[in-house]
Amino acid sequence: MGVHKNPLIISKIERKNILETPLANETHPQLTPQNGKTGTSASFLPLPPAALSDSIDTVICSQESTGLRQRRLSLKSEVTTETHTQTADSDRSNASSPTSDISNADSGVITSKSKYIQRRSHSNHRHASKKGKFTERSSQLDFGTLEREKNPMRGFFVLFWVSMGWYTISTAWETFVRAGVPFDMSLAFQMSERGAELATSDSLMILSCFLVIPLVKLVQYRIVPVSAAPVMNWIWLGLWFSTVVSWALFNNWGWTQSGAFTIHCIAMLMKQASYLMSNLESIWKTQELPHLQADIDLLRAEQEGDASRHQEQLELLLSEQAQFKADLKGKVTGLDFPRNLTFFNFVDYMAIPTLVYEIEYPRTKSFRPMYFLEKVLGTFGIFFLLVSIVSHNINPVLEMSGEIDFITCIMRLLVPFMICFILLFHIIFDCVCNAFAELTYFADREFYEDWWNSTSFDEYARKWNKPVHEFLLRHVYLESISSYKLSRQNATLLTFFVSSVFHELVMALTGKRLRPWLFLLQMFQIPLIYAARIPWVRKRKTLGNAFFWFGMFVGPPLLGAMYAREHYLHP
C-alpha cells in the first residue's frame, strides 16, 4: 500500500510554492508573505523585518505540527487497513481518500497495535507561540556602540546632549535671577511624596509575582491537568491584576506615583503571563515526547522488510521529536526543562529587562562597573533635566489651558513635549534597561531599533519598544492565530486593541478619570497604516518619515492639552 499524503502537511519543499501563490491570502492566511509583494493584506502585520522570516517559519511550524497530529490519526487507519484488508480495491480506495482514514480512525476501528498512536492532542497547545531568538546585540544609541561602529551620525548625538546641557544652564540662570535659587525643586518634591509607601507597595507587588512558580508546579506534578491550565492562568492573572489596580486606586497617589506604579504593574503582568504560558507549553511537550517515541517505534516495527514504508511519516515524527527536545533545552549552558523551575531562575528572569520567558538567555562574559555607573548617572541626570523642562515649559502652559485657546496651548507644548518624549525614551530603554542588563549579564541589548527612521506607525510600533513588541508578537498575535484561528488582519487588530487598552489604563489611573483620548488616537493609527501601504506612499520614504514625525510632534501635546483641560477645568 502506498504512503498517503495528508493535505494538511506543509513540507519544507512546498514552503516556497505556498508563500509565492497568490491564493495564499485565502487558503493559508497565516503563511502570506509580509513584504507587501504578494496579496493585498500581506504587509499589514507590524512585524520587524528581522523577525519576519522567523514569524513566517513559526506559523508554518504550527501548521506542520497540526499536520503531524492529523498524520498520526491517518496512520492509525493506515495500519488498521493493512492489518485487516488485503485486497487491492481497498488499497486503492484508501489511497484515493486520505480523509477517510481519519474518519475510520475516529470511528474506533483500531487494532491493538495502533492504540500506541491514538491519543488526544492537547487543544490548548500553542506551537506557534515561539518567537525570534535572543542573541548578543548592543543598543544602537549607546555611545560605546556609536564609537565602536564609527557611526557618521555620532556628532549629532553629541550635539543633542550639549544642547540639553546649555538649556539646563540657561534655565538655572533664569530661575536664579527670578527666585534667587538655581533650580525649582517643587515638582521634584511633589513627585517624591509618599515615596516610602510607594516603594513598599511596589516591593509587595513584585513578591506576589513569585506565586506563579507553585502554579506551574501544580501542572508539572499533574495536580492540575494541562487542559485546565489556561483557565487557571487567566483566573490568577485576572485576580492579581485587579487587586493591584484596586490598591493603586485606594491609595490615591499623585499622578507621577500612580503612573509609575501602573506601568510597572503592567510590566509584571506581562512577565507572569509569559512565564506561565512558556512553561506550560514545555510541560505539554514533556508529556508528549513519550507518545512521540511510541509512534516512532511502531512505525519502525512496521518498516521491517520494507524500509520505504511510512518513511515520510517517520521523518516527520523524528523532526517533531527533535524540535521538542531542542525547545526543552537552554541554548547557552544546556539547562533543560524542568530544572529551570526554581526560585533563583525566576529571580533572574524578573531582573532581566525582557518581558518574554526563555529557559536561558545569552550572557556577557564580565560586569563593567564604569558602564553601569554611566547608565545610573545618566538616569538621574536626564531625570533632573526632565523635571526642569516640565517645571518651566509644560506645567505653566497646562495650568493655563482653561484660560488660553486650544490651538495656542498645543503650539506652546509642541517642542517641550517632543524633547520630553525623547528624554523618557532614553531613560527607559538606554539607561535603565542597559543598567539592568549589565547587572544580570544579559547580552541582548536591542531594546529598540532605528524608530526615528520609521515611515509608518506600524514600523514605529515594532521598533521603538522591542520588549513589549516581542511580548505582543509571541503571546497576543501568534497566540490568537494558532489558538483562536484568527486571520492575520484580525490578529493585528486585536494586538492594537490590547495595546491601546493598556495605554489608556495608565492614563485613567494616573488622572483618576476615564477619557478615551489616547485609546482613540492609537486606534486611529490603523487607517494610517493602511494609507502608508498605498504603493504611491510606500515609494516615498522621506514623505512617510516626515508624516511620521508630524504625528509625533502633534500627538503628545494634543493629548496633554486634552487631559490637562479635563484636570484643571474639572478637578
| Widest CA span in the chain | 104
Q: Is the separation of the CB atoms in 62 and 476 below 8 Å?
A: no
d(CA 521, CA 558): 10
Average pLDDT (301-327) is 81
* Backbone CA torsion sign across 477, 483, 487, 491: negative
Higher-pLDDT residue of 518 and 403 is: 518
pLDDT at 52: 36
Strand partners for 363: 442
Confidence of residue 426 (pLDDT cuts 50, 70, 90): very high
The alpha carbon of residue 58 and the mean position of all alpha carbons in its chain are separated, in whole angstroms, by: 14
pLDDT at 7: 33
Residue type, 469: H
Q: In angstroms, what CA-CA distances link 515 with 257, 518, 522, 554, 565?
A: 19, 8, 13, 19, 11
Average pLDDT (319-326) is 88
pLDDT above 90 for 269: yes
CA count, 13 A, side-chain hemisphere, 316: 25
d(CA 292, CA 284): 12
Q: Name which of 74, 76, 87 is nearest 111 in CA terms.
A: 76
**298-312, 356-370, 472-486, 506-520: least confident range:** 298-312
C-alpha cell read off for 327? 525547545
* Backbone CA torsion sign across 77, 83, 84, 90: positive
pLDDT above 50 for 76: no
pLDDT at 305: 64
Q: In angstroms, what CA-CA distances link 456 with 30, 38, 150, 178, 496?
A: 22, 19, 28, 44, 15
Query: Which active-site residues does the annotation give?
Result: 503
DSSP state of 329: B
Q: Render 341-409 in DSSP notation, one character per residue.
A: -SHHHHHHHHHSS-SS--S---B-SS--HHHHHHHHHHHHHHHHHHHHHIIIIIHHHHHTTTTS-HHHH
Helix, strand or coil, per DSSP, at residue 338: coil
pLDDT at 407: 86
pLDDT above 60 for 319: yes
154-190 pLDDT tens trace: 888 889 999 988 988 998 888 888 888 887 777 778 8
pLDDT above 50 for 547: yes
Higher-pLDDT residue of 564 and 127 is: 564
pLDDT at 307: 65
pLDDT at 243: 96
pLDDT at 217: 95
Query: Please, what is the average pLDDT of the chain?
Result: 77
Q: Name which of 451, 394, 448, 456 is nearest 419 in CA terms.
A: 394
- For 220, phi then psi, to 5°, come to -60, -40
C-alpha cell read off for 417? 513635549
pLDDT above 80 for 310: no
325-358 burial, b at 16+ Cβ within 10 Å, e below that, comes to: eeebeeeeeeeebbebbeeebbebbeebbbbbbb
94-122 pLDDT tens trace: 433 333 333 333 333 333 333 334 343 33
pLDDT above 80 for 484: yes
pLDDT above 70 for 133: yes
Average pLDDT (451-472) is 91
- For 434, phi then psi, to 5°, come to -70, -30
182-227 pLDDT tens trace: 877 777 788 788 888 999 999 999 999 999 999 999 999 999 999 8
d(CA 280, CA 56): 23
**22-26, 248-252, 484-488, 493-497: least confident range:** 22-26
Beta-carbon contacts of 81 under 8 Å, excluding residues fewer than 6 positions away, are 1, 90, 91, 94, 101, 104
Residue type, 567: H
**7-21, 69-83, 223-237, 516-530: least confident range:** 7-21
Q: Render 73-121 in DSSP notation, one character per residue.
A: HHHHHHHHHHHH---HHHHHHHHH-HHHHHHHHHTT---TGGGGT----
Confidence of residue 367 (pLDDT cuts 50, 70, 90): very high
Q: Render 294-321 in DSSP notation, one character per residue.
A: HHHHHHHHHTTT-TTTTHHHHHHHHHHH
Label each residue of 483-516 as H, E or C: HHCCCHHHHHHHHHHHHHHHHHHHHHHHHCCCCC
Looking at the chain, the whole-number percentage of residues with pLDDT higher than 90 is 35
Helix, strand or coil, per DSSP, at residue 151: coil
**4-8, 131-135, 272-276: least confident range:** 4-8
Average pLDDT (530-554) is 89
pLDDT above 70 for 404: yes
Confidence of residue 132 (pLDDT cuts 50, 70, 90): low
pLDDT at 179: 81
d(CA 203, CA 271): 15
Higher-pLDDT residue of 570 and 191 is: 191
Average pLDDT (533-545) is 89
